[in-house]
């Protein structure tokens, strides 16, 4: 893209520059309702304001979403469990990469 910009006449950026292109990334935060809807059936990380079932953070596949709660399919000590989390208890949520 930088080469194409350099070919334009008149030059839209006459001084020297470095062109950098970025994206929100693979672990982008979920902030808006639309972000949560797009993350349905994807692996996410959720941090909570207070502990739920003894933990303040969970990672799993979001399998259900309502205005009041979301459901994650999580692996707890080798057991797969559906965990329902009230949305008002979520401090932060983001997409996550499963290793």
Indicate the domain borders of the chain. 25-95
On the question of a cis peptide bond just before residue 10, with omega within 30 degrees of 0, the verdict is yes
pLDDT surpasses 80 at 2? no
Residues 13-64 have pLDDT tens digits of 888 888 777 667 788 999 999 999 999 999 999 999 999 999 999 999 999 9
CATH number of 25-95: 2.30.30.180
pTM of the entire predicted model: 0.75
Separation CA 77–CA 26 (nearest Å): 26
* pLDDT, position 72: 98
Residues 58-78 have pLDDT tens digits of 999 999 999 999 999 999 889
Coil, strand or helix at 22? coil
Give the count of alpha carbons within 13 A of 52, CB side only: 17
pLDDT surpasses 90 at 79? yes
Q: Stretch 74-92: mean pLDDT, rounded?
A: 95
């Amino acid at each position: 893209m930088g080469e194409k910009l350099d070919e334009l006449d008149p030059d839209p950026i006459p001084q020297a520059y470095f062109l950098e292109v970025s994206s929100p990334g693979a672990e982008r935060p979920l902030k808006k309702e639309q972000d949560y809807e797009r993350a349905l059936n994807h692996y996410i990380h959720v941090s909570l304001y207070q502990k739920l079932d003894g933990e303040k953070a969970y990672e799993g596949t979001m399998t259900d979403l309502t205005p009041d709660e979301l459901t994650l399919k999580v692996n707890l000590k080798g057991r797969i469990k559906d965990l329902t989390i009230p949305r008002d208890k979520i401090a932060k949520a983001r997409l996550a990469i499963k290793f």
